[in-house]
């Protein structure tokens, strides 16, 4: 179905089920199908909702600069559509959207499980991570330049290999369908890249959380995620964290069974 959120139409996949509803939010470049392996396992036990964020695949977006605030407002609209509080599950940029929604709209949220939100801004002010932050920033800038020049595939490949997923991931982690989806959503990533607030979620904000939050992390993720999440979690002791052995940033695709176990354990723990 398409959900009208005023300035956009969001494609929603809504699978009926019992138990607390779960809403899946995908990351940059991707669409709702990135969560299919997890969502399909949880369907039946829960009402499972996933959607294409604005400007991705089957969802529209207005012809203006977007912001992460738009994505939060869209998730709120999805939650209003569901009609009862839900557990949020997010990946990467979608993880940040989930965290912000849980912080700003706790009445709509039971809790959130998120995999590796890109909290890179936490590295600022830590000189030992300056070269790492500079390298990742330069790769993002180059990916944006390539897309602006009409070279979306090259920009997507560079981002995947040098920023988000690690060397060789474009060819070895993602199949042709995934790569085509990323290329087709490149313009939306470029718009997202131009939003100055896209990465600005502070540990101080996480420390104020009133809903249970779990951040999952891969033991084989690119080096930008480890220290940024270490710093964020150190400033937010009430936020739980767990590692998924052998996983990288693409855990929803490569380690869906492990993520489902983490999500299920989190939901079961809400009743304790």
Q: Is the pLDDT of residue 199 over 80?
A: no
Q: Is the pLDDT of residue 247 over 80?
A: yes
Q: In the prediction, which pLDDT does 53 show?
A: 99
Structure confidence at residue 272 as a pLDDT band (50, 70, 90): low
Structural domain including 184 reads 127-193
- Can you give the CATH number for the domain in which 237 is found? 3.40.50.1820
Query: Which of residues 177, 193, 209 is at a domain's end?
Result: 193
Task: Classify residue 63 as left (phi > 0), alpha (psi -120 to 50) or beta.
Answer: beta
The per-residue pLDDT for range 118-164, each reduced to its tens digit, is 999 999 999 999 999 999 999 999 999 999 999 999 999 999 999 99
From 237, 234, 233, 257, select the one nearest 247 (Cα to Cα). Answer: 257
Query: Which of residues 144, 177, 193 is at a domain's end?
Result: 193
In this structure, the answer to whether residues 18 and 88 fall within a common structural domain is: yes
Q: Is the pLDDT of residue 250 over 90?
A: yes
In this structure, the answer to whether residues 100 and 21 fall within a common structural domain is: yes
DSSP string over 107-147: GGEEEEEEE----GGGGTT-GGGHHHHHHHHHHHHHHHHHH
Query: Which of residues 149, 173, 193 is at a domain's end?
Result: 193
Domain count for the chain: 2
Report the chain's mean pLDDT, rounded to a whole number.
96
- Distance between CA atoms of residues 92 and 27, nearest Å: 5
Q: In the prediction, which pLDDT does 212 show?
A: 96
- Distance between CA atoms of residues 20 and 126, nearest Å: 40
């Amino acid at each position: 179905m398409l959900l009208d959120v005023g300035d956009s139409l969001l494609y929603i996949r809504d699978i009926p089920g019992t138990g607390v509803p779960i809403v899946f939010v995908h990351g940059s470049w991707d669409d709702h199908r990135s969560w299919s392996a997890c969502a399909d396992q949880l369907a039946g036990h829960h009402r499972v909702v996933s959607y294409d964020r604005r400007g991705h695949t089957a969802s529209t977006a207005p012809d203006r600069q977007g912001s992460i605030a738009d994505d939060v407002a869209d998730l709120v609209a999805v939650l209003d559509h569901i009609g009862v509080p839900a557990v949020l599950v997010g990946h990467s940029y979608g993880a940040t959207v989930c965290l912000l929604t849980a912080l700003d709209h706790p009445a709509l949220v039971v809790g959130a499980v998120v995999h590796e939100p890109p909290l890179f801004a936490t590295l600022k002010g830590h000189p030992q991570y300056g070269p790492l932050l500079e390298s990742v920033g330069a790769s993002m800038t180059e990916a944006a330049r390539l897309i602006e020049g009409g070279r979306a595939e090259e920009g997507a490949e560079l981002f995947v290999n040098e920023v988000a997923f690690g060397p060789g991931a474009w060819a070895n982690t993602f199949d042709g369908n995934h790569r085509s989806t990323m290329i087709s959503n490149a313009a939306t990533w470029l718009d997202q890249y131009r939003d100055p607030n896209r990465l600005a979620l502070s540990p101080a904000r996480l420390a104020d959380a009133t809903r249970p939050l779990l951040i999952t992390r891969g033991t084989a993720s690119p080096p930008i995620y480890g220290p940024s999440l270490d710093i964020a979690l150190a400033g937010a002791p009430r936020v739980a964290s767990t590692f998924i052995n052998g996983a990288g940033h693409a855990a929803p695709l490569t380690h869906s069974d492990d993520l489902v176990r983490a999500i299920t354990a989190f939901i079961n723990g809400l009743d304790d």
